[in-house]
Amino acid sequence: MSIRTRFAPSPTGYLHIGGVRTALFNWLLARQAGGQFILRIDDTDAQRNVSEALQPILDGFRWLGIDWDEGPEVGGPHEPYFQSQRLENYQAAAKKLLESGHAYRDYATTAEVTAEREAAEKEKREFVYSRTWMAETEDQAAAFEAEGRKCVVRLKMPREGVCKINDLVRGEVSFDWAREQDHVIQRADGTCLYHLATVVDDHDFEITHVVRAVEHLSNTPRQIFIAQSLGYSLPQYAHIPFVAEPGSKNKLSKRKIDKYLNNKDFKRLYQSGASVAERIGQEVDPSTFNPVLVDFYRDIGFLPDALVNYLLLLGWSLDGETEEFSREEMLKHFSLDRVVKSEASFDPTKLVAFQERYMNGVGYSAKAKLCQPYLVKAGLVSDPIDCDELSTLKQVVRASADRINMAGDILNFDSFFQADDEFEFEEKAFNKRLLKPEQAGFLLGEFKKLLATTPEFVADELEQLLHGFCETQGIKPGDIVNALRVAVTGKGGGFGMFDSLEVLGRERCLNRIDLALSELETRRSNA
Active site residues: 254
- Cα–Cα distance for residue pair 87/89, rounded to 1 Å: 5
Listed residue (219, 268, 266) closest to 239, CA to CA? 219
What phi-psi label fits residue 249: left (phi over 0), alpha (psi between -120 and 50 degrees) or beta?
alpha
Q: At 167, give phi and psi (nearest 5°).
A: -80, 135
H helices of 136-263, where? 138-146, 194-204, 220-229, 257-260
- Cα–Cα distance for residue pair 15/181, rounded to 1 Å: 31
Strands 152-155 and 184-186: antiparallel
- Whether omega for the bond prior to residue 80 falls within 30 degrees of 0, making it cis, is yes
- Cα–Cα distance for residue pair 98/326, rounded to 1 Å: 50
* CA end-to-end span of the chain: 83
Query: How far does Cα 108 stand from its chain's mean position?
Result: 42
The residues facing 171 across adjacent strands are: 167
Q: DSSP secondary-structure letter at 75?
A: B
Listed residue (257, 253, 244, 245) closest to 285, CA to CA? 257
- Cα–Cα distance for residue pair 453/468, rounded to 1 Å: 14
- Cα–Cα distance for residue pair 173/158, rounded to 1 Å: 18
Q: Is 240 in contact with 217 (CB distance < 8 Å)? A: no
- Whether omega for the bond prior to residue 437 falls within 30 degrees of 0, making it cis, is no
Q: At 339, give phi and psi (nearest 5°).
A: -80, 135
Q: At 185, give phi and psi (nearest 5°).
A: -115, -15
- Cα–Cα distance for residue pair 273/512, rounded to 1 Å: 30
Amino acid at 109: T
**SS3 of 69, please?**
coil
User: 288: burial class by Cβ within 10 Å (0-12, 13-18, 19+)?
Assistant: middle
Q: At 423, give phi and psi (nearest 5°).
A: -75, 140
